[in-house]
Amino acid sequence: MTDNRKMTFPALFAESIRCFGDRNAIALVGERPKTYNEINQEVLSLIAHLEHLNIQRGDKIAILSANMPNWVVAYYAITFMGAVAVPLLPEFLSAEIQNTLDHSGAKAIFISENLLPKMKEVRNNVLKIRIKIEDFSLIETENIPPSYNRHNIPVGEHIVEEDDMAAIIYTSGTMGTPKGVMLSHRNICFTAIKSGVIQPIDEHDRFLSILPLSHTYENTIGLILPMLSGACVYFLGKPPTPSSLLPALLEVRPTLMLTVPLIIEKIYRGKVLPSIQGKWITRQLYKHSFFRKRLNVLAGKKLMQTFGGKIKFFGIGGAKLDPVVEKFLIEARFPYAIGYGLTETAPLLAGANPKYTRMQSTGPAMEGVQLLIHNPNPVTGEGEIWAKGPNIMMGYYKEPAMSRSMFSEDGWLKTGDLGAFDKDRFLYIKGRLKNLILGANGENIYPEEIETVINNFKYVVESLVVQQKGKLVAMVHFNREEIEHRFEHLADEVTNYVERKIEELLQELQEYVNSRVNKVSRIQLIVLQPDPFTKTATQKIKRFLYT
């Protein structure tokens, strides 16, 4: 597939039909996959249904559903006819759904049956049509419109251009106010094609999708990319808990997966480390580099079998990966890869496949994308990452001033991330510019780096470092269940003992961290965070809620 073809969803999917029509395209785990030809027929019949419902070019159509084959059919039908998809995260609260529908002006919504209760509180005068995504039947209609017929075909001619808006992606990110990122067909198609240059995909590949399709990371790289290449995408159909994920991995035996750091970090701390530290002898051997590397190779083989034995690309994106976990993956010879990007860049900006990963680097700029470090520090080379390329967003919906503020006068997108290049132009992310804390003497303090140290302390699940009244404060969430299990032999006294143990752990943690960070990054106060932090779709903590 060459770069000179028309970069629109219908044009590229038409080529997939010609090349891979009878091959498997998408499926729920445990069900028969649908072929590319079958998906094409369902998309056409749904376009005909939307025509009957008077959906026009440019209309905004929301999707509120977990991943399933009909999510894909709805997304393609919307965008193939020149309308604009507005994917919503299934985790959105009713108020967030209300705000997104109001702001986008969505005329219709595809919604799964189990999420209908969230719509009871939504009041919207623009939203005229509600469609159940499981069978495309209409919900709560006063008149009786034409029903969905899977044998119908469109009557209109729908011309879609590369610069037409394909989707509005709403994300609050980690910093607060939700923004509607406008992505064109060119933005998304370009990213999908160039992602395939980093990691070639073919019709023999199998993806297991566990992240929400409403997030552009999974949407572009976990759906559009495999659909260009004749691969088959399997949807888990339920949250990726061990009881649902492990059997699916063995059934699908995926060759590629996309995850976020939190998932692999949990596997490392919850499965890999306990298996090594469970015995005194392996615990002692693991302290020595020679034996640790060999134990990690054995653990890597077991991890590969856990994932079905066929993984060749285990993509990690959305946040920075813990260096301790990354070191394990390298020594375990597990085929991981890290990418970097933003919703605003559809999403990839930099990446490398498993053959070329480097410790703590996101890889070089993606082909066709320019990256620069703006105003770099003369000593460290660190500065804000700026980007240019065909994947840069059209802007924020209904926010022209905010859109302009994201770009330099000569058209560079200001990512808001701090980074630096090595001599080979591999990119290293330091943290968010807005998270940067200035020390008393003007030194740069990166809270994300301190949090990485904290998160490697026993019993810690997650943490957040903030500055309060000039002091560095760490908010820490412990795995209370693990602590209680450790001391359950105390029976009736366990609760009181756990409370005392947590107080001891907080003091011990402060000494642990401050012995491992530089002087300006030392923590002056640690406070207990009793509940898990609220997170984004890619499992990053919503920092604005706590600062």
Among candidate residues 172, 193, 214, the one where a domain is terminated: 193
DSSP string, 433-482: GGG-EE-TTS-EE-HHHHHHHHHTSTTEEEEEEEEETTEEEEEEEE-HHH
Residues recorded for the chain: 547
Buried-exposed string 87-108: b where 16+ CB fall within 10 A, e elsewhere = bbbbebeeebbbebbebbbbbb
Both tokens of residue 436?
């940067």
Helix runs in 81-205, H state only: 94-104, 116-119, 185-198
Instruction: Find where tokens 């094409």 sit.
Output: 40
What's the confidence (pLDDT) of residue 394? 98
**Residue 288 within any structural domain of the chain:** no
- Residue 50: CATH number of its domain: 3.40.50.12780
Helix runs in 374-530, H state only: 400-405, 447-455, 480-486, 494-514
What's the confidence (pLDDT) of residue 454? 94
What's the confidence (pLDDT) of residue 1? 42
Containing 219, the helix (H) or strand (E) segment is helix 216-219
Among candidate residues 156, 177, 193, the one where a domain is terminated: 193
**Mean pLDDT (the chain, rounded):** 92
What's the confidence (pLDDT) of residue 438? 79
**Residue 21 within any structural domain of the chain:** yes
What's the confidence (pLDDT) of residue 525? 94
What's the confidence (pLDDT) of residue 175? 45
Cβ-contact 60, 166 below 8 angstroms: no
Over pLDDT 90: what percentage of the chain? 73
Both tokens of residue 408?
């330099």
What's the confidence (pLDDT) of residue 177? 61
Instruction: Report strand pairing: 206-209 vs 179-184.
Output: unpaired
Cβ-contact 111, 243 below 8 angstroms: no
For residue 347, whether the previous peptide bond is cis, meaning omega lies within 30 degrees of 0, is: yes
- Residue 529: CATH number of its domain: 3.30.300.30
Among candidate residues 160, 193, 226, the one where a domain is terminated: 193
Residues of the chain with pLDDT under 70: 1-3, 141-145, 172-178, 440-441, 488-495
DSSP 381: -
Cβ-contact 387, 231 below 8 angstroms: no
What's the confidence (pLDDT) of residue 270? 85
What type of residue is 188?
Answer: I
- The structural domain count of the chain equals 2
Return the number of other C-beta atoms located less than 10 Å from residue 233's C-beta.
27
Q: Provide the residue range defining the domain that includes 85.
A: 9-193
What's the confidence (pLDDT) of residue 234? 98
- Report the Cα–Cα distance between both ends of the chain, in Å, rounded: 47
Decide: helix, strand or coil at residue 260.
coil
What's the confidence (pLDDT) of residue 93? 86
Both tokens of residue 375?
């105003």
**Residue 34 within any structural domain of the chain:** yes
**Residue 97 within any structural domain of the chain:** yes
